[in-house]
Amino acid sequence: MSATAAAATATIAPLPVLGRDVLVPLVTGGEVSYAALDYAASAPALQRVWDDIAAYAPYYGSVHRGAGYLSQLSTDLFENSRRDVAAFLGCRPDDQVIFTRATTDSLNLLAAALPQGTRVFVFETEHHASLLPWQQREDVEVGYLSAPRSPRQAARTLERALADWRAEANTGAALVCVTGASNVTGELWPVRELAEVAHAYGARIVLDAAQLAPHHPVDIAALDVDWVAFSGHKLYAPFGAGVLAGRADWLSEARPYLAGGGASRKVARKDHGGVDVEWHTTEARHEAGSPNVIGAYAIASACKALTEAGFESLVARERELIGKVRAGLAEVPEVRVLSLFGDDAPRVGVISFVVEGWNSSHFAAALSAEYGIGVRDGLFCAHPLVRTLLGGEPGEAGECGAPEAAPGERSLNAIRVSFGAGTPDEHVERFVGAVKELVRDGAKWSYRTEDGRCVPDRG
């Protein structure tokens, strides 16, 4: 391979995604290829995933119990997808893989399945999907743990909380919920160490892998976690499907998450009115209704694509992209990158920052309108964490992604850039260049506040 060809290859993302050739207009005139750098919210679907879905679409049929050929084919596809996801996650032989709508749905399902009186321990640094579901149960007590400033401190904080809980002569069940990678800082959490602490005190642990699974291998057995939850739309699959995988006992004993067909094995009339129901004890117990076969198949396709591409090479390349972005931002004194664990902490391709003298919504709007770069601004559905990192009071009111301040005024929000296996080098290079230019020269266009957000003023 020639040097020129090698250089060209290096700029191509290892896994092609949909939308990679989409052109978007600039307020300053002309068009540019869209730089999607908001993977932490929703990663573009892989081209392979889309092709697999399109190939299956003509064979779409009802799932489970259908006598027709297409029904049987769709059922096989659905159940094979379950097995593919189990393999991707390194599930234990007795683990269940339940298809849900997303990570939020998965963790709400698990919350509904907790034994009565369970004590839940969750760090305040979690995404709202893993921070909030537990308090929906009136018979479950939640202990919120303060933001740690190092992985070691995270383990110590959890150990103290569990020791205090056991010292109170509590004999009930306990659950620890922790993220694998922060959706704000991208920093990796010490999952294996936290699992060891949890199990030492007889607690179980669920891993929110929404941000981890698209970037690093997730092995339930190796990490020794009890459950894993993640979303398809962050794993290069289309919207609308997710996974909860892990131990079967609490799930098999809980009331069905939804009552309806598919979850029930047998329904019979009672002699004096009403019905008796025998519920499934398998994954079907929590998958009532016609399942999202295409969503499940899309997740399985993405799992296979990532596995075949090889996480070792994907992680190595992403580390290079992270280095480019962090080095570029470090050259701009006005930029402050947010971090819990420090600059040397291992992380995935998620970086949040603030720019001195800029409202984050204004800065993000200028990146989009003037450079064709899509990032995210706000509190990223992790309000307590972002407020901690920005020095705000935990109780301050605010709405995620809708700062109240006008352009140029300080507000408690940040900018997040995120990328992955579908990101070409040019996108991160354009982003770094745009940040430097905006800070140095200011925006080329005027902006106004509309519904709490900064938007280009088009007169």
Give the pLDDT mean for 329-354: 97
Quote the pLDDT of residue 412: 77
d(CA 321, CA 10): 11
DSSP conformation class of 267: E
pLDDT value at 4 more than 50: no
Quote the pLDDT of residue 394: 47
Predicted confidence band of residue 451 (pLDDT cuts 50, 70, 90): confident
Quote the pLDDT of residue 406: 47
Q: At what angle do helices 293-309 and 69-89 cross, to 10 degrees?
A: 40
Would you say 63 and 284 are in contact if contact means Cβ atoms under 8 Å apart?
no
pLDDT value at 1 more than 80: no
Give the pLDDT mean for 73-101: 97
Active-site entry in 91, 177, 303, 381: 381
Quote the pLDDT of residue 327: 98
- What own/partner pairs with CB < 8 Å and gap ≥ 24 does 139-147 have? 140/111, 140/114, 140/116, 141/117, 143/119, 145/121, 147/123, 147/340, 147/384, 147/385, 147/388
Quote the pLDDT of residue 453: 83
Whole-number mean pLDDT of the chain? 92
Q: In 67-197, where do the E strands start and end?
A: 96-100, 119-123, 141-145, 174-179
Quote the pLDDT of residue 12: 79
Predicted confidence band of residue 459 (pLDDT cuts 50, 70, 90): confident
Q: Provide the pairing of β-strand 119-123 with 141-145.
A: parallel
pLDDT value at 147 more than 80: yes
Which helix (H) or strand (E) segment is 230 a member of?
strand 227-231
* Pairwise pLDDT comparison (387 vs 11), residue with the higher score: 387
Segment 31-43, tens digit of pLDDT? 999 999 999 999 9
Segment 312-323, tens digit of pLDDT? 999 999 999 999
Question: Hey, how many other C-beta atoms are within 10 angstroms of the C-beta on 276?
Answer: 9
Question: Hey, how many other C-beta atoms are within 10 angstroms of the C-beta on 38?
Answer: 18
Q: Determine the Cα angle at 147 with ends 228 and 250, to 5°.
A: 30
pLDDT value at 11 more than 90: no
Quote the pLDDT of residue 221: 95
Active site (annotated) includes residue 381? yes
Predicted confidence band of residue 115 (pLDDT cuts 50, 70, 90): very high
Segment 302-312, tens digit of pLDDT? 999 999 999 99
Quote the pLDDT of residue 452: 77
Q: Identify the burial level of 18 via C-beta atoms within 10 angstroms of its C-beta, where 0-12 means exposed, 13-18 middle and 19 or more buried.
A: middle
Quote the pLDDT of residue 213: 98
Give the pLDDT mean for 356-372: 94
Segment 191-211, tens digit of pLDDT? 999 999 999 999 999 999 999
| Buried b or exposed e, range 50-87, using 16+ CB within 10 angstroms | bebbeebeeeeeebbeeeeeebbbbbebbeebbebbbe
Segment 378-422, tens digit of pLDDT? 999 999 999 999 986 444 433 333 445 445 444 678 999 999 999
pLDDT value at 180 more than 70: yes
- Dmax (CA) for the chain in angstroms is 83
Segment 214-244, tens digit of pLDDT? 999 999 999 999 999 999 999 999 999 999 9
pLDDT value at 153 more than 60: yes
Percent of the chain's residues with pLDDT above 70: 93
Quote the pLDDT of residue 50: 97
